[in-house]
Amino acid sequence: MSVLAKKEGLLRAIGSLIIFIGLFLSIISDFFLLDNFIYYLFLIILIIPIIIFVICAKLEWDIIRNYPKIALAFLSCYVLLMIIIGILTKPYNEFLQQFSIIIISNILLITCWHFSLSIYKKEKIIFLISGLGFIITSFFFKVGLIITQMGLIISFLPLILIIFGMSLILVIETKMKKKELLNYI
């Protein structure tokens, strides 16, 4: 990125930071969806390694850069094991549906954040699809449940931040493309 695009690059980074803040607010609001501290702790034990993995991938940590398939396979096995343990500890349908939606929406949001600053077309598409997936799952499944327990403004705050962060990134990238300061690969 050239010196001409320094301001735009900073705004893109701010958009990514806003998505990251929305991710943590979303995880915090999930506490009110789960009826027990143990289940929330289980969710945290499931989500935190995924966030650490993504951060390490962004920082190009050696073990992930050199062995990405092994690292991803290990993470996938860990997530699958945690989901199976969660199902076995509380197997009734309502909890399973609610817990699955929470996990899926958080993984979609982590994926959105991870690819938010990518300049590759395929990764930008993943950014858009995962972000829209989070917005849809949150709006239709999570927000209604949280409103009854937390109030309207707090319920929509993570969703508003994600939409704002994604919009900021997309608007800035559109301006950069028009100025020929950014070309997707």
**Which tens digits make up the pLDDT trace of 92-124?**
666 667 777 788 888 888 889 888 888 888 888
Tell me which amino acid residue 80 is.
Answer: L
The token pair at 83 is 């989901």
pTM: 0.80
What's the mean per-residue pLDDT of the chain? 79
Decide if 26 contacts 138 (C-beta within 8 A): yes
pLDDT tens string 130-177: 999 999 888 777 666 565 555 556 667 888 899 999 999 999 998 888
Residue 173 CB partners (closer than 8 Å, separation 6+): 12, 182
53: nearest Cα among 72, 69, 66: 72
Tell me which amino acid residue 57 is.
Answer: A
Tell me which amino acid residue 30 is.
Answer: D
User: Is 26 in a helix, a strand, or coil?
Assistant: helix
Burial class (CB in 10 A: 0-12, 13-18, 19+), 18: buried
Decide if 105 contacts 130 (C-beta within 8 A): no
